[in-house]
Amino acid sequence: MNRIENAFKNKPIFMPYFPLGYPDSATSIDVIEALAKNGADLIEVGLSFSDPLADGPVIQQATQVALEQGITIKKSLEAVKELRKRGVDIPLILMGYYNPMLAYGLEKFVRDAKEAGADGFIIPDLPIEESDEFIRATGQSPLPLIPMLAPTSSPDRMEKIARNAKGFIYLVSVTGITGERKTISAGLSDLIADVRKHTNIPVCVGFGIGTPEQAKEVGQMADGVIVGTACVRTIGTSQTPVETAKQFASQFRSALNESKK
């Protein structure tokens, strides 16, 4: 059983996002290790890019700091390899934008990502209709390109993407960029139900989830909860980021355990 399938034995899963290189390379590796070993079931590992169009100001600022600190695709993959050496055995999904991957070379990127220990890819600016080149680059690699769906996805497009999805589906709960919201979208339950009509693979919800209480609410509907902005903001503003990461992961994991009751 691969790592993604294994992770979803503990549904609903907790999937935090954190960018490599923020606030510096060494700290980001320590933070991701702390998240992994204190409650995260799967981690969305950020690959920084100068124009992160899907991300709100908190993540934009963090990835800009990472770039100023000298983070690159190559250094990011080396960091993933280091995490595996440290005993991190949960799935690590590389979340990044398409241009840096193209510049690196798609086949080389996929090969090096697999060798480093990555488990898949999330590419927000690569619509499924334009993903053939990347899919070809993956060849016989088992690493999936995780599809994204949103409230604005048409029924036909939702059905097509859901039926062909691998790994899990990243369901964007709101329109707009990443960031915390005060309340969970009123139509989220129906949106999840619509997606599940077309697939049996897990559906994870991201965008707008900022507190353990919101995670618990979403966890009662979805197979997983993705938390980005709150994770980056809470850890990034802490004087003790690694300890804060441990507490953050533990609190969200506990909330999701409550959602099962």
Residues labelled as active-site residues? 44, 55
Kindly report the CA angle at 212 between 188 and 61, in degrees rounded to 5? Answer: 85
CB atoms within 10 A of CB 261: 6
Amino acid in position 75: K
CB atoms within 10 A of CB 237: 11
Cβ pair 32, 45 in contact under 8 A: yes
CA distance 31 to 19: 10
Query: How would you list the strands of the sheet with 13-19, edge to edge?
Result: 120-122, 92-95, 43-46, 13-19, 224-227, 203-206, 169-172, 148-149
Q: Point out which residues pair with 19 in neighbouring strands.
A: 46
